[in-house]
Amino acid sequence: MSLSNFRPALKAFLFVVLTALSGWGEEGAAKPEWEKVFHRQNVKGTIVIVDERKDEPVSLVFDRGRAGTRFCPASTFKIPHALFALDAGVVRDEFQVFPWDGKKRWLEAWNGDQNLRSSMRNSVVWVYERFAEEIGEEREKEYLERSGYGNQSPSGEQPFWLEGDLRISAFEQIAFLQKLYRNQLPFSKEHQRLVKDVMIVEAKKSWILRAKTGWNGSVGWWVGWVEHPEGAVFFALNIDTPQRMEDLPKREGIAREILESLSAL
């Protein structure tokens, strides 16, 4: 590896280590001007962005207090859950078909056979409920602890990532995504690469967007990163959704506006 290639890699590695050791990930530069973006959408929320396109990564946050508050991860948990299922052998690959049980559900995209890619793209809850049933609560707990994911609790009402006790903050979402991006989670690189592949939302000539939405009825999420040749731009947004489904498009709307202002999209 040439010196010019080694330095950015070393800086990225040191950034992750220092973040973990110092709690730097819950600092970063405050961006109070982003309040107007949330205000225009008439919602309360937070967003954390870590921009690694330069030699010195930049952390930006709106509403630091909320960014450090843990909420139900809802379907953003499908990112680690897919890794758990692959590691446990519940899922072989992206081609394995999960037969529909014939029960009509509220979202038409859920009413049919699924695979890993479609269940991630369409956020098909019943597929991941099957994963949870096959993995079992004890092993789910082991995977959560191994991954350091949020409060690491699969207890409470089921599904535990929607109705139960599992909670995670926006800062913690970023830390998890950074490890996944670098294949540094305690799972095989093959499985991490596969999950990243099924997370692709959009791709242009100069960037790739990998992300996942989440919603539990009261809080909506959009988390992920935008890959550029110079490095990744990570983001984690959550908002209150008092208008329920009317508020759901605001997740991506707010995050995209802010990412575009940073020339990340």
Residues with catalytic roles:
75
CA distance 87 to 194: 12
CA distance 169 to 237: 10
Radius of gyration of the chain (CA): 18
Cβ atoms of residues 109 and 93 within 8 Å: no
Cα separation values, 225 from 13, 33, 40, 102, 133, Å: 17, 22, 24, 35, 30
Q: Which two tokens stand for residue 125?
A: 């809850």
Backbone phi, then psi, for 169, in 5-degree steps? Answer: -95, 165
Three-class SS of residue 2? coil
Closest CA to 236 of 167, 175, 195: 175
Largest CA-CA distance found in the chain, in angstroms, rounded:
58
